[in-house]
Structure 1
């Protein structure tokens, strides 16, 4: 992932008495369609480490049949080139449906990441309300910046003149994912006129009860910190006394088609329809949680060095942000469809859970880190809100109209979610041997370095490489999102095989001599080769020349141009090799933060790993995930092997230095 280096103001101008955006976004180039021959050649190469000889020969033949003069490939390429001319971003809808909206899996664990903030110190319920009020106020401040179009434009460090598309930032606040039977949709609020005053409300969840809190009105402006704090104190006092609350939020953690069916039933009642409208159109959701018990993550009793809240370790904190802990704890105190859920627990744990489809992590992280920075600059306040806040109406408690069948469906959703969460094998692992300072001293990109550490680790555990996903930003282009950096290259396989060679012992008289089958000199030569390949792969992706988006476009173009309703795909997309190419048993992403926050997510395959990483100056924070039901994976074994890999790499590169 590219780091942000430079920022400049987004200009706007007045026209005809009306403020209109003069956006650099409209001047960004369109996402290119890479040459067909180039993509097919890269595809063949990237699949070599994953296929046996017979499968490789078959793939070569499929590529020749598809891409040759008589194949379907050239015609589909022309179709994509025509789409590229007609649309702002030819790939956006294909990618969004394939990656998110067309995926029927439940959002918790499978899709939504969780982020842990540095814990706070709360001694009273007023501390909780005051901090939460400041978070909401900081979000409103950020929304004002967006409405003024005053958010600085980010630029690529490799070319400081090159602006990056900022559209994702404008989709974080106020948006929501809506379940569909076949395909989900998104609610995206309309872009406001510059400096316009709009009504805003937030939804606050406490003890599974929903409250609507208007925080900004057209006629009376914004609530101040004291006023928001008083509304939250009312909620924190009201919710514990309610009995027989209905855990409607569990429905958002169900499989998408099942939740969609249930939503269709709910909206038949006018009260439910209004509730859903308020939730989906809210600026954000605030979840006032109960702490998870220490025993919730008893599989990792030693925990990780780093953040703690009471006696809770970082893995425990991360699980609260990822999914809430199940029906017994906070999972009903969620609305997983909402793009931004801020989570605050009474013991000081805090963070967020976010629905991924509107924006990548960089947009969310930049926003919340600015919010936290603004809050940390404020003086501590233990003052009770003044009596002047008493004029405010009480927050509206949202009541649901449900029949017995609907209660049963909510119970079913809860059972499903509990089983999903019990299966998650998750571990926050802080590697403290070194960090990006050492890596940079070796003249290597920290991202490339860590990617190869993950390749070596997977190979040490499984004796082979696997299709690996790493997101690469394509924000150089209008409405660009991500393509896939494939780290499991032939060069990577050659290097990890050399690094993983066991030592051989030989007896020379009375002495026992240990030697390596591959010399350090050869390993360093292979290292230079694989680093060059990894860097080239990254640059190819961020400049719009990746293969995954292009192959997806060709596949979807084949469906759209098929003369029959059956949409028969070319064999290159139905062969085992294509299925293997998209079976990401290693799903990775660099999620860098300037604060000591970190983000993690679940695996994307039943036998796979999720691995996010956050390189710091002298350490690296990993969030590792897998499923207990898989006999092939274990995050504790992965963490142990990863530490060995990182130490091996340091020893090798220290010799070069």
Structure 2
């Protein structure tokens, strides 16, 4: 099997990435919503304006500025180790003017070279908004004007229009068949083309979201779920990304996963938030700066003729999507007891620190849920089945052309030994510290291997693809690739720290982003280390699994973080700006 991969490597720019995109993403027939897509949040504590149309005007303009920089190749490549090694940015090419097209056996990615319009969804209606006037890009105040015209439009949705996007939220085969039967000609084709060939999709959401100090838990959980799935019909999940502006001025992003990984979207998002706050700004009354222009044509409604047969498919897709969305147990929270500043004083990798805390939290989580399961299960599962699980951490492989990700298997013998030592009352602090350092060093070693092309999982995946093509039965490959990742984790790195001066503006911190659970009986955990003193966590699981509970896991994660930092004779309050 390896011979075929070597042969492929001679003519392919990357022998992994095209198969990874095709077989992991585009051939998946289940819903993209929750199972595949991911989201990015606004600033945690700051909302520059509470006027919905104004926030949309500035941020849409910032997004389009970023697109222009991409088109002109003005964005400097991100470099590793200061300025030594440039990271591959091939995924950026499909960020804009891109949509995933459903097929019965496999989807495709449609990318047009340029798009001069947006499609905006509000209150069940679709509007086409041109981005240029008199040969120039609309200014922020003009975009605010266009968004306000959409908000003020009193028209009602056409039959079948309001919940149309539920087709993109459900299974792929019904959507592919429905698209071929009802959207291949006439006004439906014209309107669908407008959506799929738009620069990106915008939702002017009717709800208010974001962190509320008086109710931090519920508000952040609601915000995360809204960005991940919304009402299942108010995001176009096939677009490269849907930009969401809430009624109270908060913003967010929902990204389709096949075309790119989270760091690519994160780079855009950092630029948008910093440009909005520190460059464009707002007037004292909260509007975009500049003047309106009544000569700009108003947004136009997209026209649909959706027959009853198509409406039945829409309703069926919405029903299955609702079941999936309602099953998502999400917990998003800022951890401000300490951050990477204090962790670095321990002379360890902040990422390794968090990964070991996740292992300890998962162990605590099982011990807590066992009494509730004891009556239902014949016996307590053995240690290697109940207390530890196969753990996935995403590592970028952008040192290589068209590189995407590799897996770091962060549940190791060393991490298990450390966790067991933390649980054993007879272990001393010195013994636990020694095991922590061994586990941390092992994790860093595995991460370096993954990042530099010496990981194992993507190679095993490619061997499996070859084996299926050659009809070679491989029990080993079949077994190793069917093992579930019950703990799937990812760090969202800050890439442009120079855009945010957190010493002068400590409140301008990012909330990061997250994703749904990978396994029905597991957790999805995303985290972002913001500045020196804050870590934002996003934890997902499913209500239907009796063994998981995102809020319980979050509590154990906080405890695990504090338990580990005390090994180094630091208290959680050692962080100079900690709030707890």
The TM-score normalised by the length of structure 2 is 0.87
**2:166 paired residue number:** 250
Residue from 298, 313, 336 that aligns with 1:432: 336
Equivalent-residue separation in structure 1 for 2:554 and 2:362 (angstroms): 11
Q: Secondary structure at the match of 2:4?
A: helix
Cα offset, 1:388, TM superposition = 7.0
**2:521 paired residue number:** 607
1:314 aligns with 2:220: yes
- What pairs up with 1:74-153 in 2 under 5 angstroms? 76-118=1-43, 120=47, 122=49, 127-153=51-77
**2:379 paired residue number:** none
Cα offset, 1:578, TM superposition = 4.2
Alignment CA distance shift 1:199-1:334 (3 Å):
closer
Contact 2:41–2:511 (8 Å) recurs in 1: yes
Cα offset, 1:121, TM superposition = 5.8
Contact 1:199–1:216 (8 Å) recurs in 2: no
- What pairs up with 1:607-646 in 2 under 5 angstroms? 607-616=521-530, 617-646=532-561
Residue from 531, 545, 560 that aligns with 2:440: 531
Cα offset, 1:386, TM superposition = 8.9
**2:452 paired residue number:** 543
Cα offset, 1:223, TM superposition = 2.3
**1:351 paired residue number:** 252
Q: Deviations over 1:225-249 (max 9, x none)?
A: 3332222222111156557553211
Cα offset, 1:113, TM superposition = 1.1
Equivalent-residue separation in structure 1 for 2:67 and 2:349 (angstroms): 34
Contact 1:428–1:621 (8 Å) recurs in 2: yes
Residue from 414, 426, 432 that aligns with 1:517: 426
Residue from 161, 175, 188 that aligns with 1:272: 188
Q: Secondary structure at the match of 1:391?
A: coil
1:390 aligns with 2:294: yes
Range 334-343 or range 112-121, more displaced: 112-121
Equivalent-residue separation in structure 2 for 1:578 and 1:131 (angstroms): 45
Q: Secondary structure at the match of 1:654?
A: coil
1:485 aligns with 2:408: yes
Range 111-120 or range 472-481, more displaced: 111-120
1:169 aligns with 2:96: no
Contact 2:119–2:128 (8 Å) recurs in 1: yes
Cα offset, 1:168, TM superposition = 1.7
**1:579 paired residue number:** 482
Alignment CA distance shift 1:388-1:550 (3 Å):
closer
Q: Which runs of 5+ in 2 are unaligned?
A: 367-385, 498-508, 575-580
Q: Deviations over 1:441-486 (max 9, x none)?
A: 1111111110111111112223421111111111011110000011
**1:441 paired residue number:** 345
Residue from 480, 504, 511 that aligns with 1:597: 511
Contact 1:451–1:487 (8 Å) recurs in 2: yes
**2:502 paired residue number:** none
Equivalent-residue separation in structure 1 for 2:321 and 2:426 (angstroms): 49
Equivalent-residue separation in structure 2 for 1:452 and 1:261 (angstroms): 46
Cα offset, 1:619, TM superposition = 2.7
Cα offset, 1:639, TM superposition = 1.2
- What pairs up with 1:395-434 in 2 under 5 angstroms? 395-434=299-338
Alignment CA distance shift 1:241-1:275 (3 Å):
closer
Cα offset, 1:522, TM superposition = 1.9
Equivalent-residue separation in structure 2 for 1:267 and 1:357 (angstroms): 23
- For the aligned residue pairs, the C-alpha RMSD in angstroms reads 2.5
Equivalent-residue separation in structure 1 for 2:330 and 2:292 (angstroms): 47
Contact 1:292–1:316 (8 Å) recurs in 2: no
Equivalent-residue separation in structure 1 for 2:214 and 2:74 (angstroms): 46
Q: Deviations over 1:542-561 (max 9, x none)?
A: 0001000100111111122x
Cα offset, 1:349, TM superposition = 2.4
**1:188 paired residue number:** 111
Contact 2:461–2:481 (8 Å) recurs in 1: no
Give the aligned length: 533
Equivalent-residue separation in structure 2 for 1:250 and 1:235 (angstroms): 21
Q: Secondary structure at the match of 1:574?
A: helix
Alignment CA distance shift 1:548-1:303 (3 Å):
farther
Q: Which runs of 5+ in 1 are unaligned?
A: 1-75, 191-197, 306-311, 502-515
Range 473-482 or range 285-294, more displaced: 285-294
Q: Deviations over 1:290-334 (max 9, x none)?
A: 11599xx9xx998537xxxxxx7211112211111x2xxxx3221
Alignment CA distance shift 1:205-1:469 (3 Å):
same
Contact 1:207–1:239 (8 Å) recurs in 2: no
Contact 1:343–1:350 (8 Å) recurs in 2: yes
Equivalent-residue separation in structure 2 for 1:529 and 1:610 (angstroms): 26
Contact 2:124–2:157 (8 Å) recurs in 1: no
Contact 1:227–1:385 (8 Å) recurs in 2: no
Q: Deviations over 1:174-205 (max 9, x none)?
A: 21111221221111234xxxxxxx55111111
Equivalent-residue separation in structure 1 for 2:206 and 2:335 (angstroms): 30
1:454 aligns with 2:358: yes
- Give the greater-gyration-radius structure (CA): 1
Equivalent-residue separation in structure 2 for 1:397 and 1:177 (angstroms): 23
Contact 1:466–1:586 (8 Å) recurs in 2: yes
Contact 1:179–1:257 (8 Å) recurs in 2: yes
Alignment CA distance shift 1:384-1:615 (3 Å):
closer
Cα offset, 1:439, TM superposition = 0.6
Q: Deviations over 1:477-500 (max 9, x none)?
A: 111000001101111112111112
